[in-house]
Amino acid sequence: MGSICFGQETKTEEKEKPLVEFEADSVTLDSDLKLNTYSGNVNLKTDLLTIKNAERIIYDNITKQIIATGYEEFSIDGEIQFSGKGKMKRLRYTLGESIAYLE
């Protein structure tokens, strides 16, 4: 009794880097910790998340995590929207994921 196996080589496409754009009054770069701190009227846009007029956003270049505080408005995938100052003080999001956490 024998067996036959078939296989096909497939090429894996390189995953594109997620789009992330920042706009702020000032930026502080910490090359040791690989953190970028954006302060003052911070706007952020990714493929999924848009944040407007945050007081501060910290971006971790290693984990790709974004932490926003003092935001006035955000939307996720253009569907879920929030505006105004709420009880949630912090928004946490990792590039490439489909979930943002409000804390």
Domain of 88 in residue numbering reads as 20-102
Are the CB atoms for 59 and 66 separated by under 8 Å?
Answer: yes
Query: Within the chain, how many helices (H) and strands (E) appear?
Result: 0, 9
β-pairing, 65-69 vs 73-76, is unpaired
| pLDDT of amino acid 62 | 95
Residue that has been written with the tokens 């995953």 in this structure: 15
Which parts of the chain have pLDDT scores under 70? Answer: 1-18, 85-88
Instruction: Establish if 72 belongs to a structural domain.
Output: yes
Indicate the residue type of 68.
Answer: A
Instruction: Establish if 14 belongs to a structural domain.
Output: no
Instruction: Establish if 46 belongs to a structural domain.
Output: yes
| pLDDT of amino acid 101 | 87
| pLDDT of amino acid 21 | 94
Q: How many domains does the structure of the chain reveal?
A: 1
Instruction: Establish if 53 belongs to a structural domain.
Output: yes
Are the CB atoms for 94 and 65 separated by under 8 Å?
Answer: yes
Instruction: Establish if 5 belongs to a structural domain.
Output: no
Are the CB atoms for 52 and 61 separated by under 8 Å?
Answer: no
Instruction: Establish if 4 belongs to a structural domain.
Output: no
Instruction: Establish if 13 belongs to a structural domain.
Output: no
Q: Supply the mean pLDDT for the chain.
A: 82
For 20, the enclosing helix (H) or strand (E) is: strand 20-23
